[in-house]
Structure formats: structure tokens, C-alpha cells
A and B are shown apart, each in its own frame.
Chain A
Amino acid sequence: MAHLAMATGFILILIGFYGALTNRNILRMIVAFTVADSGVNLVLVAVGYMRGRTAPILDNTVPAAEAAARIIDPVPQALVLTAIVIGVGVTALMLAYSYKLYEKKRTLDITKHTELKW
């Protein structure tokens, strides 16, 4: 199950990157990046689980001293959430940028925004 999720995640990442790197339209690129983001998140969730450990609740069964070896770190879960949030933030910023870019040149073709080079 976890492997399947991971594989799906990677496929999504690849699709996303492929889309982002081949499409010239800025909006399409952003969409592609959200696809890749989803893939990353999927991978995070899939990998974050470690077989044979318990839920991260510190009680008597899991003394704090052994906790590090016994429980699944909750952080990856939080991590996914944070990643999603950040992803949203970045996507929003990119969209804002695309608006600005469009405003300036009246085109969303990324190859038209390459005055800076060399």
C-alpha cells in the first residue's frame, strides 16, 4: 500500500516536472507544479510511516526515554500539512507573479520573459 502510494507520488512528481518544464504557458506550469507538489506530499505521507512503531502518544507503554525508537514521529505528518500550506503559499505567489508578468508583456509565454540572461 505504502509502496503504491509512493510510486504514485513519484509518478505525479515526474508528470508535474515534465509538465512544468515543457509547457511554455506560465499558468500551465503553475498547474504542473501543483501536481508535482501533490506527488511530493503523497510521497511524504507514504514514507513517513515506519513499520512496527506505535502511535506517537507518550504514556506509560512508551516511556519518554525509549520514545525515539518506538514511536512514529508525528513530525512527518505535520510536515505534510506544513508542506501543503507552503505549497499553497508559493502557488499563490507564483500566480501573483504570473499576473504581474502578464500585465507587463501581455503574454503568458515564458520564453518571452527572458530579457535577463547571460
Chain B
Amino acid sequence: MVSAIVIIAAALAAEFMLGLFNERWRAAAYGVTLFALGFMAFISAEWVWAFAVYDAQPAEIFTAGVQPPFAINLRMGFPEAALTLLINLTGLFSALYLRRALLEKGRAAMAVLLVFVMAQNGIVLTRDIFNLFVFFELAVIATGGLMLLSEDERAVAAGFKYLIVSQVISAFLLIGIIFSYHATGVLNFDLMRPEHFAAAQGGAIAFFLMFIAVVAELKPFPANGWALDIYESAHPAFAGLFSVASAAATLYAVDKLLVLGGPAWLPVATGIGVVTFIAANLLALPQRNDRRLLGYSSVAQIGLILAVLGQRDILGDHYFFVAGGLIAAHAAAKAGLYWLSGLVASRDIIGWSTLRGHPVLIFAFVSFIALLTGLPPFPGFYAKWELAVALAGSGRYILLALILIGALIEAGYLFRWLGYALKRDKPSEEISCDPSAVTAIIAALAAGWAFAYLWGDLSAHGNILHAVPLLFALSFLLLDWLPAWVKNTVAIVGMVGYFILNYTDYDPLRLIFAVIILIGGPVILLASYDAHGRRIGFYPSAMLMYAGLTQLIGATDFFSFFVAWELLTVGSYFLILRGKHSEPHALSYIIFSLGGAFLILTGFALAATVSPLPMFEALQHLTGETAGWVFLLLAVGFMTKTAAIGLHIWLPGAHAEAETDVSPMVSGILLKAGLYGLMVLMLAMGKQRFYGIDIVHVMLWVGALSALLGNLMAIFEEDAKRLLAYSSIGQMGYALFGLALMNHLGWVMALMFVINHYIYKSMLFLSAGGVAKRTGTRLMYKMGGLITLMPLSFIAVLIGIIAVSGVPPLSGFGGRWIFYNAILSAEHRLPMVITFFSGPIAFLYLFRLIHTVFLGQLKDENRRIKEAPFWVILPQMLYVGLLMAFAIVPGLALRRVDTYLNQFFPEGGLNWEGITITSQFGYWSPVSIMIIVCAIFGSLFAWLMFINRRAQKVKQFNIVFAAERPYRPETTHFAWNFFAPYRKALGFLVQPFVTRFWETIADILHTAGDIGRRLYTGNPQTYALHFLAFVVIVYFFWTGG
């Protein structure tokens, strides 16, 4: 094993060697640099290997052969090895990336780069405070030098600013060091003790000065203006290196200091970290320059890790796992993103859409964003989970809330950026594909995924990447070059196959969801055969969503449930994002979803700390106030997904703007995830009170209001798919209402809604999508009279609306019947009034859908359109058949569920004897109804047809029009603002209060960010003052608190 000091020695040797080189031997010099960095990385790697595999002991290296305090010593432990490896590898790939710049600037630049890497290594390795200072100063000087590599002219000023601020910082550091020495008598980390500082006069202040100076190197808010300028103007390779290496090293230095300072300093670190995290994310919101945005993000991430360092007291064994996970994610993502920014010509974040031409790079970009936001399977996710569990377990709720709020804001701007990159028009400039740069980026990408795998393996919860559905989904990334129909077949076969293999494992409740996901999903996928070409990106996203859903219903513990939740969220986000104009809607979707996910995370974390049991049992065993909190958090989280009123504003856009075959997926299937969550939650926990309020009662009201307002909004909608989307809000409100009734039939009704809603909403969305595809618009008043041209779509919609509106004999009626029976035994009566009202309103929007699209007057331009494509029609016809079948024999699905529910709600089941279904209050015979209605209908129809057998078929303008005649179909088709009287009477109910509320919040955040960032005036003197102010504020809080 090579001694760790060789790392530093190698760097020094290479530097001196470079000094000996002729100025013209640049290639050789570059070779030496690369070799040195590679060698340094190799040594670190060797150590990491030794620690990880052979369980080696940490090695102390005594310089000058003397024990401390008489000489400086270095240590190589596992964290040091990992960090130096990270630093050296980043250094190596940065050097690779910097090839052109280094060759241009010559050996001096290479030497400076080596100094920088060496200094960072030194910061990690050294156990001597003064030595730490020296390495810091070396890093400062090297940074100053490397800043000049940039092609950006402003980099000079940025470097100078850094020098000025670092002058002030180093003065603090030096004074702190010397006073610490004065207090403790030694300068060695291992020999100093927290007691020393406490005992000596001024010892605490000495430590404070030292600590604050080192922390300042972490760019805490607000003392970080200089760092942002550096990030913005430096060469991207160096910015990446600076963000990764110096952050990693300095964080470790802080970690070492915190051991010295003792537990009293942990809250200080946490406070600084969390404030920085939130503030930097907030300030990043209005940012449009990509590198500066990344700078803010770096600052935020480092703040988060600093906060984690401050939580080492509760993290225990997970400390390195969490902090390391965050550092690893940050490193791979930030290096990768900075390196990517070097390829993009535009400095505006919209310019990143140029990446779209390169599948690998765009995949890298997506991965990096996922790494940063802590999505599964990346290490940040594991870290987030452990951190949340630890924080919740020790009662640090406010901190957890703050971190999650910050993370949500971060996700906001990162996903906005992602949306721009994926959706905005590509700029004319092509990206520069420098092979060495691309190599570096691919290395970062590989590192990110390697970290993902590694952290999965280290995790106590098992590796996410080992889940079959996820692997199946990810495999589509590799298959993306295949034509769409092949992938579609693979997807269908895979899903159905998975179902066949696993369906026996599900209980009836889960089985219903499993059928909807794994059988219903492929049915919708049939429509995807209509797509031509390769449809890049569709299948990985769709399969990711289905994988998440599949894992969700298979999940038995909190962690895997949450993983599945996040996976389906991400998958559906990308799926929704595919729509033509869906970028803003996808963003609001992901933000609401992540917000909801964070609530769920908090709830799970709270619950998980109580008992290590499987999820269901753990939830069951919760008691007292915690139970109320958990229930509330989880309920709100799940209701975000079902788009309960108040949390619904993401849904209409997201569902309406999605592609034809995506809308049914996200509406018919994805929404069920929220319901499933609610069902599991309510089955496990029953009714919970939260400070005296019955949450389930509140949910009853929320469900009723969602049903009413969703439906009301739907009837005023001109856009067919938006109408259906609003209708989903209403339908989900109904289902929520059923669940919240908390009785047997309420649940049967909710489950019936789950099935029915899947069938008819998928059918209607496909139909509307097919029509929109043919007519080129989704505005219903622009259609009309399509019945003869698109008869099959019409039949689908007709059957759909009969089913939705609950008119016998179709299956919707069963839902209504069960609903009435359910409310008869419910406790609360007032919310029923609202649901009574919302039922007929559903009828209004459905009629509008069928009338304005298929009936009425056919427009000029639509005279020659054809029926929707076969593959879009096929699933619709399947659904028509299903609806009919389900109408005649609802028992097929419901009977088993009914029995299953007996164990939870023993009262009030249904009697399925014979052909009549009997409840406590009434009876219902679907077969008889169907036969009677068909008989009456059929005989009357035959009679009328017979009488009118010779009726003259007329055309659309052959109407009696007050002796005049219509001139244009547009002016004859009564469609726009169809329910004007309703608007007049009840339009006040659908004022967009909720939208305004969320918009105001977004506005406030943005404005706060925009005002806040004006703090950074660009003047180094201000920055230095910021630092001083920072010191004073922290000092004030430290002494005050």
C-alpha cells in the first residue's frame, strides 16, 4: 500500500518536474499532469479498496518521524480515502476536460491545477490546524491562478474578489488558530480536546474564530457573493472542480473541527447550513444564468451537507452514509453539470435545449438533476430518507420542515430548467462536442449511477436498483433505438407477464390495483401502437411510472413504498412533459408531487421511528399525537396526488396537455396511486383526531367539495381534455368521499370508482385525444357533428357518459346505488348535500362533451376527417365491452373486495346471492335492469324504425330556422360558453382562488429571491462586509442561543 503522503508528494514532484520542463513541451507537461493526478487517484483508490474490502485500519503518517505535537501528522482513514479519491478523480477529469486550456496556458497552469488538487487533498488528510491553514491558503492562491484559465473576462474581477475576501477570512483563521493554540497548547486535531477550549479563557472565542473562518470557505449565506461570481465566470471545468473538491475538502475540515468543538457547535453548523440551503435556493429561483444558477445550487447543497454535519449527534451510524451520499450526489451532479455547461454555448438556461440532439448528454443532464434533487435510485435519496428518519426520530421537526422546503424550492428551479432543456426550441448554435469533455461528463454520469448502486448496496433497506420493475423500466433506456412498436410489444408483454407471475401474491384490494396497472396499463399501451418512429424517451418514462406503480402496490415497508412513490412521480413527470405545451404544467405537477412526497416522507419518517414493523402494522400501532400528525401528513400527501381541491391546480394542465395515449395513463391509472395510498393509510389507521378535529371528517368535506368544484369547473371548460381533467378532480373527490365515509359500502363504492374511473376516463381521454388528433384542436366549439365521421369514438363517448353519469343500466349506476346505501349509515349528513349536487353537474359537462364534439353542426374544415386511428379506437372498444360486462356482472370484481373488506368493516356488507345484490337498505339487480331496459328500448326502437323506414335523411342545414336558413356551421353550432345560465347563477363558485393562492406564493418566493439576490452587489468590499456581518450574526446567535 502506498503511503498517503505520496499523494501530496506526487503532486509536488509533478509540479517541480513541470518547472524543469521546457515551455514548449506542453503535451509532455500535460501528460505528466494527467499522470500525477491519475497516480494520486490511484493511491486513494487503493486505500478505499483496502478499507472497503480488507477492513484496513486507518493509517497515521508522521512527518519528520516525530509524534505530534512536534511534527505535523496526516491520517488516512476511510473517509479521507473516499474524499481524496473523489477530489483526485474530479481533478483528473477536470484536467482532461481542461486539455485545450491547459495546453494553451502551459505548464504553469498545470502546476497550479496540481497545487489546487494537492491542497484539497492536504485539507482532507492533515491533522494539524496550522497545516490546514497552509493548505487553505494554497487552495486560495491556486484558485486565484486557475480563475485566469477562464475565457470569460469577468473572471479576473471574480478572482480578485475571492482574494480580498479570503484575506479577511485567513486573518480570522490565523487569529483563531493562534488563540486556540494559546488555549490548548497544541495545534493537533488529535491532541486538542473540547474541554481545553472550555477551560481556557477565550478558548471558545478562539474556536469560534477558527470555525467561522473554515465555515466561511463553505460559502455560507450571506458571505458567499464571491463564490457565486467565481462559479459564474470560472472555466466550467474549474467551477466544477471548485464546487466538488473544495466543498468536499472543506466540509471534511469542518467535520474535523466539529469534533474539537464538541456538541455545542453542532447546532451552529446546522443553523448556518440550513439557512444557507434555503436562502441559496430561494435566491436561485429568479436566476437565468446557468452557471450562476449552478453556483447557487452548489452553495445550497453544501449548506445542506453542513446542516447534516451538524446532525451527527443523531445520525449515529448513518452519519457518513448520509453526508457521504449527499457529497457523492453533489459531486457527480455538480461536476457533470458544470462540465455540460461548457458544451452549451448559451448562458441562458433556456439555451440548454441544445442538448436535446444528443441522447447521452440529455440523459446525463436528467441524471444529474435527479442526483441533485435526491430522487431514487441516487444516493441523495437514501440520504434524504435516513436524514428524515433521524430528524423525525429525535423530534427535530422544524429542521426537517426547513430542509424539505428548501429541497422543494431547489426542485422547483432545477425542474424548471430541465423543462426548458427538454421542451424549449432548440437554439441555432450546436453544442461543441469536445471528446475529452464528453469523456469527463460520461465519467460523471457513470459515477452518479455507480454511487446509486453503491449507496443502494450500503443501504439497510436494500438496493432500489435490484427491483425487477425498475430494472425493466431502465432497460428501455438501452432499447430506445428500437422502433416504437417493438418497444411497445416488449412493454406490454413485460407488464402482463409480471402480472401473471405475481398476481397470486396480492390480496383482493391490491389485486384490483394490480389489474388496473398491469392489465389496464397494457390496454392503454395498445393505443401507443399508433405512434410512429422511435418515440425516444417515451418508454423509459412510461415504464418508470408503471414500475413505480407496480412497486407501490407490492411495497410492504415505508422505504420501498416511498421509493415506488418517487419513481412513479418521476416517470409520470417525464411522461407528462412529453406533451407539446405541457412544460409549465409538468413543472407544477412535479412541484406539487414532490411537495406531497415530502409530506409523505415526513409522515413515514415519523411513523418509522415508532416501530420497525412492516408498514401496515407500524401504522396500526401508532397512537396519540404522533398518529394524528402521521395521518394528516400522509393524507395530505396522498391527496396531492388525487388532486383534492386546493391541491388540484396541477392536474388540468398536466392531463390536458399530455399526449393522446399519455392522458389516459396519467388520469386513468396514475391518479389511483393516491387513492391506493389513502386506502392503505385509512385501513391501517382508521379514524384519527388531530387536536380534536376528526381528520376523516375533514376529508369527507374535502372530497365533497372536490367533487362539486371539480365538476363545476369542468362544465365551464371549452377544452375537451381539460374538461376531462377537471372531471377527474371531481371523480377523485367522489372516491375520496367514499373512503372518508369509513364504512363498508363507502369503500366498495370507492373501489368501484377506482375501476370505473379507470375504464371510462381512459376511454374518454383516448376518444377525446383521437378527435383532437384528427381535428387539430382540443377546443370543443371548433368541432361538432363528428358523429358520422367518427362513429366509434362517438360510441365510446356515449357509453362513457352514460356510465359516468350513473344512469342505469350501465355500471355508473352501481356506484350511485352503493353511494346511497353507504351514506345511509354514515355519521355525517351535511357533506352529502354537496355530493348530491355534484352528481347531476357531472351530467352537464358530459353532455357538453358529446354534444359539442359529436352532435350539432359539422364544420367546413372537418368535412373530410377520418375516424381516429385503429390503435386508438381498439382500446376504446375494449373499454366499451368492459363497461357493458361490468354493468351486468359487477360482482366479478366487487364481490371479492366486499368479502375482503369484511375484516376491516364487518358491518354493512352486501349480499350477493342470486342475481340481485342486496344491502341493508335496498336491492339492485343489474341483470334484470339490463334486460328490462334493453327490452323496452329495443322494442320501441324497432317500432320507430319501422314507422320511419322511409324517412328522408337530410343534411345539417335542413333545420327549421324561423323560415331563414343557417349560413355557416360555426354560427349555427351552439357550443361556446354552453352553460351560460349556469355561469350566471353559480359562476362565482369557480373563481380561481386556489390558483391565485398558489400563484401568490410562487410570486412571493420569486420576489423574495429577486430582492434577496440584490445583496450581492458585485463589490468585493461588500462581500467582505457580508463576511464580517455573517461573523457577527453567528456570534450573536451563538452567544445568545
Contacts and interface: CB of A to CB of B under 8 A. Distances in A.
Partners in one complex: yes
Interface residues of A, number: 47
A17 B1028 CA distance: 10
Contacts of B1014: 118
B1004 interface: no
B911 interface: no
Contacts of B448: none
Interface string B162-185: 011011101100110111011001
Is chain A's interface secondary structure helix, strand, loop, or mixed overall?
A: helix
Given A47-B181, A47-B182, A73-B186, A116 B233 contact: yes
A73 B181 contact: yes
B69 A20 contact: no
Nearest to B136: A86
A85 B157 CA distance: 24
A61 interface: no
Interface in A31-46: 33, 36-37, 39-40, 43-44
Interface centre among B154, B157, B166 (most CB of A within 10 A): B157
Given A37-B171, A43-B175, A93-B141, A20 B1021 contact: yes
Going nearest first, the 7 A-B pairs with the smallest beta carbon separation are: A114-B1018, A117-B1018, A113-B157, A116-B229, A97-B160, A86-B137, A47-B178
Given A93-B144, A117-B1018, A40 B171 contact: yes
A76 B185 CA distance: 10
B186 A117 contact: no
Interface of B: 69-70, 130, 133-134, 137, 140-141, 144-145, 148, 153-154, 156-160, 163-164, 166-168, 170-171, 174-175, 177-179, 181-182, 185-187, 191, 225, 228-229, 232-233, 1013-1014, 1016-1021, 1024-1025, 1028
Interface of A: 13, 17, 20-22, 24, 26, 29, 33, 36-37, 39-40, 43-44, 47-48, 50, 56, 58, 67-69, 73, 75-76, 79, 82-83, 86, 89-90, 93-94, 97-98, 100-101, 104, 110-111, 113-118
A73 B1018 contact: no
Contacts of B1024: 17, 20-21
Nearest to A67: B70
A50 B185 contact: yes
Nearest to B138: A86
Contacts of B232: 116
A43 B178 contact: yes
Contacts of A56: 70
Is chain B's interface secondary structure helix, strand, loop, or mixed overall?
A: helix
Contacts of A21: 1021, 1024-1025
A50 B154 CA distance: 47
Contacts of B191: 68
Contacts of B159: 97
A111 B171 contact: no
A7 B157 CA distance: 34
Contacts, number: 140
B69 A68 contact: yes
Given A37-B171, A68-B69, A89 B141 contact: yes
Contact of B178 (A37, A48, A110): A48
A40 to B, nearest CB: 5
Nearest to A115: B154
A17 B171 CA distance: 10
A20 B1023 CA distance: 12
B134 A117 contact: no
Given A47-B179, A76-B178, A101-B156, A114 B186 contact: no
Nearest to B157: A113
Contacts of B1028: 17
A17 B169 CA distance: 11
Contacts of B175: 13, 40, 43-44
A101 B157 contact: yes
Contacts of B164: 20, 29, 33, 94
A68 B69 CA distance: 7
A110 B639 CA distance: 54
Given A93-B145, A93-B163, A114 B178 contact: no
A23 to B, nearest CB: 9
Given A90-B141, A115-B154, A97 B178 contact: no
Contacts of A90: 137, 140-141, 144, 163, 166-167, 170
A45 to B, nearest CB: 9
A114 to B, nearest CB: 3
A96 to B, nearest CB: 9
Contacts of A114: 157, 1017-1019
B958 to A, nearest CB: 68
A94 B160 contact: yes
